[in-house]
Structure 1
Amino acid sequence: MNESVLSFKDKYFGDKNFYKMTLTIAIPIIIQNLLTNLVSMADNIMVGQLGTNQMSGVAIINQLFFVFNLLVFGGMSGAGLFSAQYFGQKNHNGVRDVFRMKILIGITIIAISLSVMIFLHEPLINMFLHEGSSSGNIQETFNYAKNYLYIMVIGIAPFVISNCYNTTLKESGQTVVPMKAGVLAVVFDIVLNYIFIFGKLGFPAMGVVGAAIATVISRFVECGYLVIYTHIHSNDYPFIKHCYRTLKVPGSLVKKIIVTGAPLMLNEFLWAGGLTLQTQALSTKGLATVGGLNICNTIGNISNCIFVTMGTTIAIVVGQLLGAGKLKEAKVTATRMAAFSLLISFGMIIILGLLGPVFPHFYNTTDEIRKLATKFIWAVAAATPFISLSNSEYFILRSGGKTIITFLFDSCFVCLVNVPVAICLTKFTAIHIVGIFFLVNMLEGVKALIGFIMVKKDIWLNTIVD
């Protein structure tokens, strides 16, 4: 397949088989991610019915767990680059060794995360609590946040283990089983949230503590399903056979994963940390901003999960093609998938635009927070095409093992551009918080342009496994 002689239509648009292949992989992941985000939305709305302080307290802890989630994602993804390419070679021993490495990475992440959440949570929570608006009580918000955190830390271990199994199955081309596990977790989470938060079926009303308990139980359910199903069907997933006889991983592979994967893990951690610092800078405009951003992020995450899923699909398909040595086909496929993701983004602009004035009214909060949330949602809608492109570019670069470049492209941009811009605009200008939020989001366009240039240079077209 010679990419240079393809027409515009053939370069950016595939045939029916292409879209069938893409959607076969993407739809189960989209369903799983959408359900996960819909659960978060349901949790958020139910907690939002309790009041502004409860909503803001939970939002702060979720921001901290956002960093943890991305650290897990980075750790699994760094090793997963090798899983996808080993699977492309039908090398099940290689996939098994990578899975073992994921377990070791997961144990390390669990230990670090528990230490930070338990011993440093008070200063971390206080970072987001500032005067400057008529909505909310800082002390009450702090107490709700702390109580929510004490329960949520119990779910750290099953979440990490689930990701070890979840990601390896996806990298092996199996996306339906993780989707089923996600659906099961969703059902448990929504039902238990309703029971525990509001006190139904004889249970006491536990508020934010009940929301945390429901989330933790749902994580154990998802983890249990993935582990049991995978081991029962070991003939379908050869990598799991005898995987726990030892956790020893060949030194050469450990070195490769560390060299290639460490920048990716660091990238996810710094990217999430950068976005958290960005949110913290915006929060200095008052507690109402925290509430407005929480509502905006809840609906915005539904949109973003579509583009992350398309990126994950790119990583799976392109990674397997690179592992099989089909470099030209990988390049054409990556271009078409990125174009497909961009087309989807235009539909998301319309959806977010329509939901902007409606969604905030699902929350029992003040008009000040609702108005801010509506304008924040519209700002995210305006940046959606750029978010789509930058996600696609990130996963294309990552699929070829160019993790140092993705580190510079992704987290360095957030930390060295987004965060300083947010801090300067909040501290040294009189621009309203909505204008600041819009300008910070539109920086995604600059990032997308940089990513486009790097992808066009074909620096990512290589095979990283023997």
Structure 2
Amino acid sequence: MNAFVKKFIGTRAFYASVLAMLVPMIVQQGITQFVNLLDNVMVGALGTTPMSGVAIVNQIIFIFNLTIFGGLSGASIFGAQFYGKGDQEGLRYTLRFRLVFSLVVCALGIGVFLLFGESLFSLYLNEEASAPEEIAATLGYAKDYIAVMLFGLLPFAVNQCFSSTLRDVGETFSPMMASVIAICVNLAGNYLLIYGSFGFPRMGVAGAALATVIARWVEMGYLLLRTYRHRKQFPFVQGLFQNFRVPLPLVKQIAITGTPLLLNETLWSIGTAAVNMCYATRGLEAVAATNINSTVWNLFSIVMAAMGNAIGILSGQLLGAGDISGAKDTVRKLLFFSVSANLVIGGLIVASSPFIPYIYNTEPSVRLTATHLLMVSGSFLPLSAYTQGTYFTIRSGGKTFVTFLFDCVFTWVVSLPIAFCLCQFTGLSVVLVFFFVSAADLIKAAIGTVMLVSGVWAKNVVGGSAGDPPAAQASP
């Protein structure tokens, strides 16, 4: 028993240091996801069709968001390890890299939405399972929503650049406060613009989009202002915009390490969107029910998400400092903590699943399907916590090609074929299809366990100074 406790449970000081990082992230994500839920409910009050239109757009925006996350992830590996060795110049270079990358992705994303948006949205509309007038109305709502949301892509990307860099150095309070302020703006904007309260125009789904866009610009303004007002605390921002120089050797290192992560997040998000397209073959009711499930699940899974980030950051800092054994010990204890916590949270999802769908103004059949989907989600939450923690662990040591195989390839080779075959060649309900897709993660968990036990992930990737190639110092 003592051996088990020593191996999987940390000291009070250990958990105090973890919670100091974890709590702000949980608060930030918790408030964000709670307001996303309220936003979803407010749009849902307009009816199932508007809610479905917004949900379809958000599936495509999800791909853009994950592309940003993926591109920044490679830089974050180096950022956390540069901070671990006290290299502020290296941090500055990684932030510049993130900003340039994000601007390029924003330009490409806007172009894709303008040229191909309607065609992409139509992929989620099954003419055989829904009435023509419902499909036309849903597509109309989707087009109204994306027309406004395009103006929020740039501030979202910039926010992610600064927030991820601050988290790399253990500063989670500033991103949390930025999110709290943005959330308040978003919530007030939703109330005023969706329904036309206090003399404001009743804009419906376009109002929901406008409130989100305004909130993102406010969030960006606050985050930039606070970071620059505390330049002594965050010296990596000093001289950040004097030029956009990043040493070519470091660019190559980030590209080599980060490209698999970029491909992973982008292709994984496309694969996930494709899985949801399979669910959509069951009709707009399935689209609405899966939207309710994913929105509620996002709220309940904030501890899992925060723990994954904490595992990646803390293990990355220890690896950068050369403490390999400490990194392994920290990962083992945090994984145990994450799975245990999410076992309790998953139980809460299952217990509350019959009641949560009633906050939506939708048909009884949609509520019933959403209840069953939530039961499945809650049951598999501990498994998801384990696989996500494993993913961030492997990534922290720079094993990005392995994470590409572990996450993205798995989705395309296992999850998507299961969803496609069951939806196309069987009459199984969307709930049963969702169950089998979720259960497939048991295979991923087994693979992740082998990777963890082998210890091949525990590598220091910043042995030299910022910009150093593997064997030589970059010229100034």
What is the TM-score of this pair, normalised by structure 1? 0.97
Partner Cα distance (1:141, 1:359) in 2: 24
User: Residue in 1 aligned with 2:81?
Assistant: 85
- Is 1:424 the equivalent of 2:440? no
- 1:449 pairs, out of 446, 451, 459, with 446
Tell me if structure 1 keeps the 8 A contact 2:96–2:246. Answer: yes
User: Residue in 2 aligned with 1:106?
Assistant: 102
User: Residue in 2 aligned with 1:366?
Assistant: 363
Partner Cα distance (1:331, 1:266) in 2: 27
Partner Cα distance (1:340, 1:286) in 2: 39
Partner Cα distance (1:335, 1:225) in 2: 36
User: Residue in 2 aligned with 1:414?
Assistant: 411
Provide Cα deviations, 1:361-389, integer angstroms capped at 9, x if missing partner: 11111111111111011111111111010
The one-letter amino acid paired with 1:117 is F
- 1:76 pairs, out of 72, 86, 96, with 72
User: Residue in 2 aligned with 1:31?
Assistant: 27
- Is 1:337 the equivalent of 2:337? no
User: Residue in 2 aligned with 1:353?
Assistant: 350
- 2:67 is paired with a residue whose SS is helix
Partner Cα distance (1:386, 1:443) in 2: 10
Counterpart mapping for 1:1-400 below 5 A? 7-131=3-127, 133=129, 137-400=134-397
Partner Cα distance (1:211, 1:437) in 2: 29
- 1:236 is paired with a residue whose SS is coil
Residue identity over aligned pairs, in percent, reads: 39
The one-letter amino acid paired with 1:225 is Y
Of 300-309 and 194-203, more deviation after overlay is shown by 300-309
Tell me if structure 1 keeps the 8 A contact 2:145–2:205. Answer: yes
Provide Cα deviations, 1:57-77, integer angstroms capped at 9, x if missing partner: 000011111111111111111
Of 128-137 and 226-235, more deviation after overlay is shown by 128-137
Tell me if structure 2 keeps the 8 A contact 1:383–1:445. Answer: no
Displacement of 1:132 in angstroms is 5.2
Q: How many residue pairs were aligned?
A: 462
What is the TM-score of this pair, normalised by structure 2? 0.95
Partner Cα distance (2:341, 2:69) in 1: 24
Displacement of 1:303 in angstroms is 2.4
The one-letter amino acid paired with 2:38 is A
Provide structure 1 residue ranges, at least 5 long, that are not aligned to the other structure: 1-5
Alignment CA distance shift 1:271-1:81 (3 Å):
same
User: Residue in 1 aligned with 2:471?
Assistant: none
- 1:242 is paired with a residue whose SS is coil
- 1:204 is paired with a residue whose SS is coil
The one-letter amino acid paired with 2:99 is I
Partner Cα distance (1:376, 1:131) in 2: 24
Provide structure 2 residue ranges, at least 5 long, that are not aligned to the other structure: 465-476
The one-letter amino acid paired with 1:11 is K
